[in-house]
Structure 1
Amino acid sequence: MSPEETGRLSAADRREQILTAASVVFGERGYAGGTTDAIAQQAGVSQAYVVRMFGGKEKLFRASAERAADKVIEAFRGAIAEFNANDDVHEKTLKLAIAYTHLVADRGILLTLLHLFSLGHDESFGPLARSCFLSTYTIVREEAGLTPEEASAFFARGMLTTTLLAMRMPDAADDPTAAELMQCTFGETSTDLITLSQGQSPLDDSGR
């Protein structure tokens, strides 16, 4: 019996451990560059165990992407639960944005989603990318109660936020132009996002 099988973690906990590692590796390297070996090393288990649990890289990437999308949905639903009856659109979208701010402290989640969206042309991953995004949009429309126009504006700013974080724009916070752009984009979450993002490196040098 392998060391990972004799450990104290349950199968569900071990699965989450591997998916967390996959988020880091796929986030850093993308689907093409990520390998089950690198994910196994990141998770501290054997490659054979990873393959046995997920059945190969494609299924592992799919599970990692679904996990990332589920995290966004979970964060948004948590924010929606904090809505008050008299909240206006600004207050609702601010609560959603703050929830997203805390979520993307895990850079692997952010980058895994971006890699998924970049595979929209792929026969296997394209439908998943569209489904994940539309599920999130539906929650913002139906559960948060935003109009189509309000939801579109919210996601437009969210995608710009995601792009700026992916390119590590907070690392250039001392540049007045970068600071201006981030302040206009991040708004009331600007300081938190810059603090959470600066210095993040999801995959250590030995795993790059």
Structure 2
Amino acid sequence: MARLQILELPEGSSDDRPPFVLVVDQVPTDEARFDVIRRDLLTDGDLAERLGARAVLVFEDTVDIPANDTTAYLGGSLPPDAHYEVTIGGQPVTWTPSDETQARAAEEGQRLANERTDIARDMDRLANHKAAITDALGINPLNGWDRIIEAAATLRQDRAEQAAALARVRNLHRPVEHNGQTICWECSAYDFECLTTDNSPVAHDQCGTHRALVGEQTHTQEQT
């Protein structure tokens, strides 16, 4: 049966794709059968022109093109006693299908070993992160992730409640202008309607609560 092969040619500077020649070998010598192939090749014009080939070469004999040899890729389809030569480190080595099977098994084993190493490394990294988080939360590092999430949520809620309480205190001891002086609303018992104070006016910067809040804020910022 006739075979079709492609022989690639050196690419020129003006070629937009690699040039090639279509090779047809093992053409039957029987005149009638050859006419059938010739008719197929010449139907609708020249086959080379239609395919973009530089030429079509037809042979009765078998023509083996080295670039089309796939023997080295057959692997397990070769008989057990078959062998072919490969080069490793510049040295020729005889290679058999069983060698290829062993090589593929070794490659797969190495891949699985690498995956196990990566998993172990990720587990160590996760354990270190967990230890750092539990230490920051002040809980036992043996706690599970559910307990860690619960502790983090509780801490966030506590911080929110503390911030709301501080805001209420700041509002009570807020500064207010009175007779050209900035005084504390709460400590001076300031009467907004009468613009008077029930207590002796206390300068805002002398308010103990305000000074404590400023110190608390500074301490909080340092912790952050």
Structure number with higher relative contact order (C-alpha < 8 Å, ≥ 6 residues apart): 1
Q: Same fold judged by TM-score > 0.5?
A: no
Report the TM range for the smaller structure's normalisation.
under 0.3
More strand by share: 2
Higher CA-based Rg: 2
Q: Which has the higher helix share?
A: 1
State the TM-score, normalizing by the size of structure 1: 0.20
